[in-house]
Amino acid sequence: MIAFIARRLIVSFFVLLAATMVIYGLTALAGDPLEDLRELPGPDRDRKIADRVERMNLDAPLPLRYLTWLGNLFRGDLGVNRDGQDVAVLLGNALSATLQLVVAATVLAVVIGVIVGIVSALRQYSAFDYSVTFTAFVCFSLPLFWVAVMLKQYIAIEFNDWLRDPVIPPTVIGVVALIGGLLWGALWVGGRQARLAAFGLGAAATALTLTLLSATRWFADPGIGVALLAVLAGGTAVGITALVSGLRYRDPLYAALSAAGIGVVLSQLLDPVLADPSWLEIFGLALLTVAVCVGLGYGLGGLLRRQAIIASVLTGLITAGLVFLDRMLRGFADYSEYVRGRPIATIGSSTPNFQGDFWQTNLDVAGHLLLPTMALILISLATYTRYSRSSMLEVMNLDYVRTARAKGLPERTVVTKHAFRNGMIPITTLMAFDFAGVIGGAIVTENVFGWQGMGSLFLRGLQQVDPAPVMAFFIVSGSAIVLFNMLADIIYAYLDPRIRLS
Amino acid sequence: MTDYPTEIPGEILRVEDLAVEFPTEDGVVQAVRGVSYSLHEREVLGIVGESGSGKSVSSLAVMGLLPRGARVRGRILYRGDDVLKLPARRRRGLRGRKIAMIFQDPMTALNPVHTIGDQLAEAVLAHDLVPHKQALARAKEMLDLVGIPQAEQRLRSYPHEFSGGMRQRAMIAMAVINNPDVIIADEPTTALDVTVQAQILEKLLEVKDAVNAAIVLITHDLGVVAGIAHRVLVMYAGKPVEVGDTDTIFYRPRMPYTAGLLGSMPSLETSGGRLRPIKGAPPSLINLPSGCPFSPRCPLADTRCHGEEPALVEVDEGGHYAACHHWDQLAAVADPTALFRTESEPVT
Amino acid sequence: MAISAQVPGAAQGMTVVARTQSQLVRRRFFRHRAALIGMLVFGSVVLLAFSSIGFGPVPGWWDKSYLATGSVLDQGRPTLSLVPQFLGGEGIRWGEHPFGQDNIGIDYFALTMRGTQQSIIVAFIVGIVATTVGTLAGAFAGYFRKKVEAILMRLTDVMITIPVLIIAAIVGRSFGDSGIVILAVCIGLVTWPTLSRLIRGEFLSLREKEFVEAARALGTSSRRIIFRHILPNTVGVIIVSATLAIANAVLLESALSFLGVGVQPPDVSLGQLIDTYRSAMTTRPWLFWWPGVFIIAIALSINFIGDGLRDAFDPRQTRVRA
């Protein structure tokens, strides 16, 4: 394993080195770095040109310039851009914003895409399957920048306008309820009557929820509250257990339910800690959650100890996530007032000069991340959905899945234990590829949403024929791609015991 | 060879008029068109036919493992209960516990990402809530039974670390781990080396006796059933065409297809003589020709055969049935396989 | 529909009416409804784009030019209406400026058609160049192994660490103002590596097949084996990936032009139109809508055609029947 990583790192190093050569050369040759200065009127033209020639070392031939840059890089110096700003400083500012965007989008796209793909495969040739497939094709064909501009216009601007008087018009409730009902009807297994019932109940539940949200003006000051939190956590416990071990034996269910219960109780008791925590404290709490839940699963799981541990840990983490969300939403009203009623941001990665507690700062970041992430997800989501669907379909027809059924395993176990694990193996390779695509997508998204991130660093550098910032961008993105590729290979080997890393 | 059960044992599985259809884009495939048989305790029933004769599909129907979209008619009675009418949960309870199955290709039938022990123990845990350790102990016991050395360590091995023969042994262990009444073995030796085939068959019979199960042995190879089956059912184009005791089928076939299968089987006794293959290919199951489906390939076929499909009739005492208009002609000749003599072969 | 492939016994036993490979492919393709609609839509877009404003010296039927400015009528609103009068609309009507006008009075229909032409041309050149280079590279790497393969694969390794958009943007910055053909060829020349990996994989499995063995045993030259024996067997993969490469190139070109590193004025492309008028979204949304609609129409229809082709060449793949 360690030998594998070492070898991969060495190979990757040379690959990256070669890539830097290609990019440096192409960027330096992409145009005239003095273009803007040549048209300057007045006497300081020549001086400015001379300045820049010296700063960018333009008198030296290209290979020498590259080697100088490379030499500086190994000393940890990323150089200066053409205006003399330190690229390392520029990169530092850009990096965190872009990383947040890219990582959030990738993780969400994988999780949602894989789930949708699997459900779609399990309901092959259903209305749900057809709509997912069609939607995936549309997403494949959407220009990212166009989607981003549309989101900006219709989600952010109009949603913010609507928040001033958050009443959902009855027609909207009707349409959304109809769509919700169709979704439930399409997902439900069973005869025509069962589906009709699912449609009716689903539509009614959606309509009721929306009406309540509208009537209580929930969107003006959203929050979850203890009662709703308890209901949601309990529902999560039941749902997760049903998925992990089934509800036939009660032990895992009790473990998950107690995890949910303890989470709800603690969310109230820990009020002083949660008032204004730090990320370190949040991380500690998360670890504590996992530890407590493992204990619960171990103690209460009985003969189904393994499943109980999985169910209670998942329930615990989701409950914790709900508590986190609840806390964040509590600050919503104040925050909304601060940003003059426009909580969904369309420009930049955070509100300039915003001061707030932990929750409000996160709310601010979330508000800025929302749209760019949505745009990025929309594009990768389609890929993950398609691939996991076809991978699942292929695996579900394999002999060993038939063997699993022949043993008399419940369909849940057949899918989660036998099909899912094998179906995910090819997806890991896709993850590495897609990550490179997301970085490209991030450039477009940042451009639309006016982020001062890595994308703008790259684009401005390229427009100005200034290799230093372009190379800084590439060093980060190229390393990230290499690391992601390696990570994918390691996951691959972990999932498939036939592969040995060497 | 196992002995006949001394007393008339109870019937455990009864298949009546089973028919399976698959709608496809080219039309409806009639994979099985009316199969009936019964299986008694500890009996070995051989089902023989070419690929596409419906032998595998009919047993998948018994297991309830047909792909989605398959249409099944008829009755499948396990100890008197029609499994086709059972609720899904009870049907699942039968699978792997009362009726187990062994598949053709052990290379693909085991999940590559889970250990052998896990896959065996899982079969126990699917039906009984016992501690994981106990299930693993049972798995080890079964590996010992099927003759896998160092069973304790082998539990932690992955399928790719096993040879083909070992994997099939593991499959057998998995099939009998819950002491089933019926084992359906679908071409259990076809994918294996010839040298391993006999070992596996022998092991299968040994294990069957250890757990007192009956076996439905599906094969295209009459040689496989010869040594071990009590009764044989020959299938062609989705229908049984001859049923009878193994000896009767081998020495007194009353259906030209059976005779053809026997003639295309190499044996030491006929050494020096030629193999006599059946010419032509099985018919399309989408548009079956009228009349006897074997008639295009049959040396005895006449206009009646082309126009009218023969029914399965009793041709002999002791439960010997055949579906042929001309079964009496076969009874008249000494060597029915000679019907398929090639033209170049001199008449002896 | 795919059931026959899932039933081991039943499928093998069927004797199928003999059909040639190309007949089978054609039959399966024409049964793919989404692909047929895709063909229809794509054909209409091409026909509309090239017949309306003409191409090169050939004049079209539309009387306005994408270069001529004019007076802005009705704030440049589109005159196209598709809602019939009895439904409360303004009736089905084409009007003076169906897609409206931009702020200096250029007819936006003519402009969009020009952009569509250019985007289609760029996409096809990119797709064809990338497929050709990718196929050749993949074929040589997959057949010869050893040195050729090592070099080509290291090269693709390098290219894979560079996101396509990055390298295309850098190339676009250099060649954006040399005209769309050169730009497209250059983009094609940097986007082939993923394709070549695919073809190489295909070659790797085919070169082990018996018929290649047989050809080699007969003393057939390597060139002949590659081009006469193996390549025809990979034609399905190549056609499918070429189609998808074209669909991706449409999106790539528009993204580059949107970022200002693709097609440069006075050339027009759909992405560049969106970039030019993106600030008009709130005041003149049609300037933003029309090019977007055409990009989606082209990309979506080519994607569906690609899916139909994949189904036709490889029926094991799952299908869309939208």
Beta-bridge partners for B11:
B40
Q: Classify strands B99-102 and B44-48 as parallel, antiparallel or unpaired.
A: unpaired
B100 chain-A contacts, CB cut-off 8 A: 406
C320 chain-A contacts, CB cut-off 8 A: 130, 133-134, 137
What pLDDT, on a 0 to 100 scale, did the predictor assign at position B301?
84
Judge whether C274 is closer than 8 Å to chain A, CB to CB.
Answer: yes
Judge whether C82 is closer than 8 Å to chain B, CB to CB.
Answer: no
For the record, the structure tokens of A55 come out as: 């700063």
Question: Which has more confidence, C170 or C160?
Answer: C170
The Cα-based distances of B189 to A356, B43, B48, B165, B202 in angstroms read: 72, 19, 14, 9, 11
Q: CA of A397 to nearest chain B CA: how many angstroms apart? A: 9
Burial of B44 (0-12, 13-18, 19+ CB in 10 A): buried
Confidence band for B169, pLDDT divided at 50, 70 and 90 = very high
Q: CA of B129 to nearest chain C CA: how many angstroms apart? A: 33
Q: What is the DSSP letter of A80?
A: B
Q: Does residue B7 register a pLDDT over 60?
A: no
Q: CA of C108 to nearest chain A CA: how many angstroms apart? A: 18
- Candidate from A137, A393, A463 with C-beta closest to C320: A137
CA angle A346, A351, A352 (to 5 degrees): 130
What pLDDT, on a 0 to 100 scale, did the predictor assign at position A54?
79
Picking from C7, C24, C33 by the largest number of B CB atoms within 10 A of its own CB, the best residue to mutate is C7
Phi-psi region of B346 (alpha: psi -120 to 50; beta: other; left: phi over 0): beta
Which chain C residue shows the shortest CA-CA distance from B29? C10
What pLDDT, on a 0 to 100 scale, did the predictor assign at position C11?
37
Say what percent of chain C tops pLDDT 70.
Answer: 85
For the record, the structure tokens of B261 come out as: 């299968």
Q: Classify strands B11-24 and B27-40 as parallel, antiparallel or unpaired.
A: antiparallel
Q: Which residues contact A440 (CB under 8 A, 6 or more apart)?
A: C163, C164, C165, C166
Confidence band for C83, pLDDT divided at 50, 70 and 90 = low
- Candidate from C258, C304, C318 with C-beta closest to A145: C258
What are phi and psi for residue B217, nearest 5 degrees? -105, 115
> How many CB atoms neighbour CB C63 within 10 A?
10
Interchain proximity B65–A249, CB inside 8 Å: no
For the record, the structure tokens of C155 come out as: 């090269």
Q: Does residue C189 register a pLDDT over 90?
A: no
Phi-psi region of A390 (alpha: psi -120 to 50; beta: other; left: phi over 0): alpha
Judge whether C44 is closer than 8 Å to chain B, CB to CB.
Answer: no
Interface A:C, Cβ pairs < 8 A: 148
> Residue with structure tokens 């401005």?
A460
The Cα-based distances of C154 to A485, A489, B137, C148, C197 in angstroms read: 15, 18, 51, 10, 11
Confidence band for C16, pLDDT divided at 50, 70 and 90 = very low
Q: CA of C193 to nearest chain A CA: how many angstroms apart? A: 13
Q: CA of C255 to nearest chain A CA: how many angstroms apart? A: 7
Q: Chains with ≥3 Cβ pairs under 8 A against C?
A: A, B
- Candidate from C158, C164, C271 with C-beta closest to A15: C158
Q: CA of A244 to nearest chain B CA: how many angstroms apart? A: 14
Judge whether C322 is closer than 8 Å to chain B, CB to CB.
Answer: no
Interface of B with C in 67-106 (CB under 8 A): 67-70
Interchain proximity B67–C8, CB inside 8 Å: no
Picking from C1, C155, C158 by the largest number of A CB atoms within 10 A of its own CB, the best residue to mutate is C158
Q: Chains with ≥3 Cβ pairs under 8 A against A?
A: B, C
> Residue with structure tokens 């006449």?
B302
For the record, the structure tokens of C107 come out as: 């007819």
Confidence band for C145, pLDDT divided at 50, 70 and 90 = low
Question: Which stretches of chain B are DSSP H helices?
Answer: 55-63, 88-94, 106-109, 116-125, 132-145, 151-154, 164-176, 194-211, 222-228, 246-251, 256-263, 303-307, 327-332
In which residue ranges of chain A is pLDDT below 70? 189-190, 501-502
Judge whether B35 is closer than 8 Å to chain C, CB to CB.
Answer: no
- Candidate from B24, B53, B67 with C-beta closest to C13: B53
Interchain proximity C160–A481, CB inside 8 Å: yes
Interchain proximity C278–A144, CB inside 8 Å: no
Q: CA of A403 to nearest chain B CA: how many angstroms apart? A: 6
- Candidate from A142, A393, A478 with C-beta closest to C296: A142
Task: Determine the Cα–Cα distance for residues C311 and C25; give it in Å rounded to an integer.
Answer: 8
CB A472 within 8 A of CB A87: yes
Q: Chains with ≥3 Cβ pairs under 8 A against B?
A: A, C
What pLDDT, on a 0 to 100 scale, did the predictor assign at position C15?
41
Q: Which residues contact C35 (CB under 8 A, 6 or more apart)?
A: C29, C304, C305, C307, C308, C309, C311
Beta-bridge partners for C20:
none
A406 chain-B contacts, CB cut-off 8 A: 63, 65, 95-96, 100-101, 103
Interchain proximity A399–B158, CB inside 8 Å: no
B70 chain-C contacts, CB cut-off 8 A: 3, 7
Task: Determine the Cα–Cα distance for residues A354 and A338; give it in Å rounded to an integer.
Answer: 9
Pairs from B222-227 (Cβ < 8 Å, separation ≥ 24): B222/B48, B222/B250, B222/B261, B222/B262, B222/B265, B223/B265, B224/B46, B224/B189, B224/B197, B225/B46, B225/B48, B226/B250, B227/B1, B227/B201
Task: Determine the Cα–Cα distance for residues A276 and A331; give it in Å rounded to an integer.
Answer: 11
Q: CA of C228 to nearest chain A CA: how many angstroms apart? A: 32
> Residue with structure tokens 């205006």?
A83
pTM of structure: 0.84
Question: Which has more confidence, A242 or C25?
Answer: A242
* pLDDT tens digits for range B238-292: 899 999 999 888 888 888 888 888 887 776 555 556 677 787 777 878 877 788 8
Kind plus residue range of the DSSP H or E element containing C163: none
B101 chain-C contacts, CB cut-off 8 A: none
> Residue with structure tokens 């057939």?
C220
Q: Does residue C6 register a pLDDT over 60?
A: no
C34 chain-A contacts, CB cut-off 8 A: 137
- State whether residue A135 is helix, strand or coil: helix
Q: Classify strands B99-102 and B81-82 as parallel, antiparallel or unpaired.
A: unpaired
A395 chain-B contacts, CB cut-off 8 A: none
Write the single-letter amino acid at A286: A
Q: CA of B242 to nearest chain A CA: how many angstroms apart? A: 29
- State whether residue A374 is helix, strand or coil: helix
Beta-bridge partners for B48:
B219, B234
Interface A:B, Cβ pairs < 8 A: 82
Interchain proximity A405–B112, CB inside 8 Å: no
Q: Classify strands B231-236 and B239-245 as parallel, antiparallel or unpaired.
A: antiparallel
For the record, the structure tokens of A130 come out as: 């057809």
Q: b/e map of B131-142 (b: 16 or more CB within 10 Å)?
A: ebeebbbbbbeb
Residue ranges with strand state E in B210-291: 214-219, 231-236, 239-245
Judge whether C27 is closer than 8 Å to chain B, CB to CB.
Answer: no
Kind plus residue range of the DSSP H or E element containing A486: helix A467-495
Q: Classify strands B11-24 and B71-78 as parallel, antiparallel or unpaired.
A: antiparallel
Of A315-324, B24-33, B114-123, B176-185, the poorest mean pLDDT is in B24-33
A12 chain-C contacts, CB cut-off 8 A: 161
What pLDDT, on a 0 to 100 scale, did the predictor assign at position B9?
60
Confidence band for B39, pLDDT divided at 50, 70 and 90 = very high
Which chain B residue shows the shortest CA-CA distance from A397? B67
Which chain B residue shows the shortest CA-CA distance from C31? B25
Q: Does residue B129 register a pLDDT over 80?
A: yes
A437 chain-C contacts, CB cut-off 8 A: 163-164
Beta-bridge partners for B231:
B45, B245
A433 chain-C contacts, CB cut-off 8 A: 160
Task: Determine the Cα–Cα distance for residues C166 and A24; give it in Å rounded to an integer.
Answer: 12
Picking from B63, B90, B111 by the largest number of A CB atoms within 10 A of its own CB, the best residue to mutate is B111
* pLDDT tens digits for range C46-82: 998 888 887 777 777 877 777 777 777 777 777 776 6
